[in-house]
Structure 1
């Protein structure tokens, strides 16, 4: 139960980083934190195959989006997240942690019962369909992401002064 609470707090922190900051560098950091923690939450619920496939899709897509955003960014030295927002976020995390340890926040044991029974479910029900019948879709999806990454890298290579254009 404490593991799920920690994962949910990390998910919340990643969402706040994603929403608050205006720099795409920290936005990419927030997306990576949110996707990793989200996949860990799915893994903790017992579905290992879905967690792994979503992680690969998220990280591949985010690499393309991050490259495109950094090609269009104007500031070469991004500023750090505002201190006020960090202080308010830390205060909120402390309040939730103290309420959780004080017993005021209760979680249903039925939801988290899979963690006590051994953790990860080893069933690969979706693997046969994914690799058997729809392998061509996976190949085209991977090639599409790779092509998009090459296009974005070509755009960033041609931008010698930092930003591709002023937005």
Structure 2
């Protein structure tokens, strides 16, 4: 019942966010939370089923970690310059009428300016 209690508590917290006006943000946070629980469950099930698990100190694991960190640094250096220039905008207090709320407009801005990084990370 502990996992059910965590899901109910997350649902109530997202309901509070919906009451405050952040409908899209609460949906995204709830899906991220449930996805995190799914990842932890899958990892623990895979680790329990593996007959010869690799440790962090073994050479093969350290090789994978170094290749991953090198790739992250390379992609970070490639996309670092100019990422913040168009990402700041006034939300919900615009001078003209808008049909979008701030959280939905922020998602559109994230996909437009960070689309290539999103494709690389996915």
Do the structures match in fold with TM over 0.5? Answer: no
User: TM-score, structure 2 length as denominator?
Assistant: 0.43
Give TM-score, length-normalised by structure 1: 0.33
Q: Structure with the greater relative contact order (CA < 8 A, sep ≥ 6): 1 or 2?
A: 1
